[in-house]
């Protein structure tokens, strides 16, 4: 079997080394790479942080969420700290003196710093690839609407080539998301029916039980639509709806994804529902209503739930609606894609006691309990021809040990080896924003419908999908 190569020598410079993302996700992922023997022996980590901490202080800070042991010891000694202010040119001069060879600049910062940091890197010559690769990783949110995303892309691409930019969408780091490609294109069975002749509609759900919690300030300015749809949900949509790429090369794949995102018809307000959680409880715990969350305006109009009916205007998907929904404080954590196939064309079973055939559905369970299920109609044993649903299913946990992965392992490794497959290209990002811009404009007025915390979302979401006689796949 082909073995993944060890990553080449490189320095990972983390802007925002003192932040939560670095501590909770990046460091554990880097240690997991070390454990998997995928991290090159001369990988260095240079954390940039405000204040006057030293190497040891940063190492202690970053130790909090990693598994202690020999792998962490190996990584720990290669962590160094550089104090500085992201806006100060002196910091970049210091970096220029210090760095040579391959460098990854990881921007784990507030979004307001993305463009200024890249501009400073460019000005200091740090993006010049004469002595090795220079790559920039940019976290989300990438812009807040179409115009700001375009402006951000323009500023970044004035300093570096697209091939140097790695825009993160952490959903693409999830194993089961990457499996969509294999499910579709590695199986003649699935791809043969993957079109408007056999598919009635598609549902993409990212339901969360978590509330906005301590993220009130960010979330109230953002909302569920911006936070989840143009990035995560559209990436899932793109993987489900794209045409087969001619190879698994990053550009081939990203081109097909960009094409399908560009084919999403701008979502009209009448095809969208927004909701906001109020009182309620989840797992016996009483939930603070959204508008009582710290740093959320008491008269906030921000949505914590959104459901959309999306049209993908390609030959393959003409007439097949894609229903997308996501929300916080819902009854269960459930990220899934449901392909609902058409009913069998002839109702042989019209006169049987069950009358209606149970539908065929393929459920791709992204999280939790990663797996897949194909729901089919079978005959109930007995003298009458009675049909009942049955499920062919498999769970990843029965076949593999997925371990405690953060989802960032593959992404960091791919940046180090220069594989952009799982990163968003500028046109995909802008396409995502373009598709929802009309809605963003419309939602600058009006307000969301309340739903009880711990429920499945607002009633209007049921009405949206119910308009054409369809129903949501139950959450959880």
Q: How far is the CB of 432 from ligand BG6 (least distance, A)?
A: 13
Residue 227 or 303 with smaller CB distance to ligand BG6: 227
Residue nearest to ligand BG6 (CB): 227
Residue 26 or 320 with smaller CB distance to ligand BG6: 26
Which residue out of 80, 201, 232, 473 is catalytically annotated?
Answer: 232
Q: How far is the CB of 215 from ligand BG6 (least distance, A)?
A: 7
Residue 208 or 414 with smaller CB distance to ligand BG6: 208
Q: How far is the CB of 221 from ligand BG6 (least distance, A)?
A: 12
Q: How far is the CB of 227 from ligand BG6 (least distance, A)?
A: 5
Residue 76 or 328 with smaller CB distance to ligand BG6: 328
Chain residues binding ligand BG6 by CB under 6 A are 140, 208, 227, 335
Q: How far is the CB of 381 from ligand BG6 (least distance, A)?
A: 41
Residue 232 annotated to the active site: yes
Residue 10 or 364 with smaller CB distance to ligand BG6: 364
| CB-CB contact of 306 with 343 (8 Å) | no
Residue 227 or 427 with smaller CB distance to ligand BG6: 227
Q: How far is the CB of 253 from ligand BG6 (least distance, A)?
A: 21
Q: Which residues are catalytic?
A: 232
């Amino acid at each position: 079997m082909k073995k993944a190569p060890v990553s080449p020598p490189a320095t990972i410079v983390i802007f925002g080394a003192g932040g939560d993302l670095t501590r909770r996700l990046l460091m554990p992922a880097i240690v997991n790479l070390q454990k998997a023997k995928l991290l090159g022996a001369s990988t260095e980590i240079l954390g940039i942080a405000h204040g006057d901490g030293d190497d040891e202080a940063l190492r202690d800070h970053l130790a909090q969420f990693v598994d202690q042991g020999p792998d962490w010891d190996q990584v720990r000694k290669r962590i160094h700290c550089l104090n500085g202010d992201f806006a100060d040119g002196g910091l970049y001069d210091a970096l220029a003196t210090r760095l040579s060879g391959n460098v990854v600049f990881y921007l784990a910062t507030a979004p307001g710093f993305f463009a200024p940091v890249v501009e400073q890197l460019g000005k200091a010559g740090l993006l010049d690839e004469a002595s090795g690769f220079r790559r920039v990783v940019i976290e989300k949110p990438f812009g807040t609407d179409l115009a700001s995303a375009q402006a951000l892309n323009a500023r970044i691409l004035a300093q570096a080539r697209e091939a140097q930019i790695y825009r993160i969408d952490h959903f693409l780091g999830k194993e089961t998301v990457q499996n969509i490609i294999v499910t579709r294109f590695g199986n003649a069975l699935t791809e043969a029916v993957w079109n408007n002749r056999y598919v009635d509609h598609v549902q993409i759900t990212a339901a969360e039980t978590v509330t906005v919690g301590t993220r009130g300030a960010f979330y109230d300015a953002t909302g569920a639509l911006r936070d989840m749809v143009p990035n995560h949900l559209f990436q899932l949509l793109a993987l489900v709806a794209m045409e087969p790429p001619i190879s698994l090369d990053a550009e081939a794949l990203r081109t097909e994804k960009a094409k399908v995102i560009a084919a999403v018809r701008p979502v009209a307000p009448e095809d969208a529902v927004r909701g906001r959680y109020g009182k309620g409880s989840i797992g016996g715990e009483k939930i603070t209503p959204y508008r009582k969350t710290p740093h959320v305006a008491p008269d906030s109009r921000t949505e914590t739930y959104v459901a959309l009916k999306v049209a993908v205007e390609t030959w393959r998907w003409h007439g097949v609606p894609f229903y997308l929904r996501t929300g916080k404080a819902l009854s269960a954590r459930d990220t899934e894609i449901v392909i609902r196939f058409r009913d069998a064309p002839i109702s042989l079973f019209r006169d049987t006691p069950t009358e209606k055939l149970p539908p065929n559905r393929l459920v791709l369970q992204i999280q939790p309990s990663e797996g897949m299920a194909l729901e089919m109609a079978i005959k109930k044993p007995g003298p009458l021809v009675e049909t009942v649903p049955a499920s062919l299913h498999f769970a990843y946990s029965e076949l593999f040990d997925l371990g405690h992965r953060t989802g960032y392992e593959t992404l960091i490794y791919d940046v180090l080896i220069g594989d952009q497959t799982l990163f968003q290209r500028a046109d995909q990002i802008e396409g995502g924003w373009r598709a929802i811009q009309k809605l963003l404009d419309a939602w600058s007025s009006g307000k969301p419908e309340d739903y009880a915390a711990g429920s499945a979302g607002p009633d209007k979401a049921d009405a949206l999908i119910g308009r054409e006689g369809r129903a949501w796949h139950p959450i959880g």
